[in-house]
Amino acid sequence: MKMIKHTVKSALKISANISPKLSAKAHYYFKFKKKLNLTNPTRFNEKIQWLKFNEFSNDIYTLCADKYKVREYVIAKGCGETLNELYGVYDSPQEINYAALPEKFALKCNHGAGYNIICNDKSSLDIKNTNLQLEKWLRQDFSSLFIEPQYKKIERKILCEKYIENERGGFPDDYKFYCFNGKPYAVMVCIGREKGTPKFYYFDMDWQPLPFEDTLELINNNQYPEMPDGFKEMKGYAMKLASDFKFVRADFYLLNGKVIFGELTFTPAAGLDVTLQEADVVLGSQLRLDIG
């Protein structure tokens, strides 16, 4: 079975260079066992796929998908105070002066997702292996893995940012605002990531639970967490950052009431999120496309 999955993934990767649209259709069928409708998409994942081929050639998507240059956009939108502290930007791992960095920091590549190294103890960091990993990531064309063209033209860099932790020494809760046509509609709250058992709760903009994923547990038990301090502030930032897009997910951290910008995401799970289910229909109804 593993051999079959590996063969399929290899074939999909090769097809991405030959025909991105055919590859996207193959990815979609492989994930959902149904055809991708790009002529009249209705579900959220389908519409994300449509956007890949009809919107993402615009330079603003390249700018905002770039984890370094998006900082320019955040500042231009009047949200600069939410940016995390930046220690350095590098073209290669060899430029990093580890001795000058604090004991805790985060390294990330700017041209994709998941390219993160979180260091909470510099004395135990294997610098050689860290550099090898960063070099490997810099060589990868992330845009071709699942057909996400917004990453294609990004000039590849390594960022070093301040390590973010809550009072318990773990990751702060993060809030992902699903914004449609310039307005936030729903927020996904990720809680418990530090324990390795994250829960994903969805709320509307009045902090009422939406019947998606783990939120069903809250609804069934009639136990809702209180609206956190800073929620309305985050919602305001999300609206500012979403104003130029049909869809964007604006991600933030909330640390002791302080809002910290995470990133702007245009293709959640590359438009292949199998966990959405009911949300795939509901969120899809919110996303209006210009289809002639």
Residue ranges per structural domain of the chain: 85-162, 174-286
Long-range contacts (CB closer than 8 Å, 24 or more residues apart) made by 38-44: 39/291, 40/291, 41/284, 41/289, 42/281, 42/284, 42/285, 43/280, 43/281, 43/284, 44/273, 44/276, 44/279, 44/280, 44/281, 44/282, 44/283, 44/284, 44/287
Q: Which of 51, 59, 64, 65 is nearest to 288 (CA)?
A: 51
CA distances from 242 to 237, 248, 283 (A): 9, 6, 16
| Domain 174-286 falls under CATH 3.30.460 | no
| Separation of alpha carbons 214 and 188, rounded Å | 10
163 near 118, Cβ under 8 Å? Answer: yes
N residues, the chain:
292
Determine the pLDDT at residue 27: 94
- Per-residue pLDDT 10s for the chain (292 aa) are 454 444 445 555 545 556 899 999 999 999 999 999 999 999 999 999 999 999 998 999 999 999 999 999 999 999 999 999 999 999 999 999 999 999 999 999 999 999 999 999 999 999 999 999 999 999 999 999 999 999 999 999 999 999 998 777 677 889 999 999 999 999 998 876 666 677 788 999 999 988 887 777 776 777 777 899 999 999 999 999 999 999 999 999 998 889 999 999 999 999 999 877 889 999 999 999 988 6
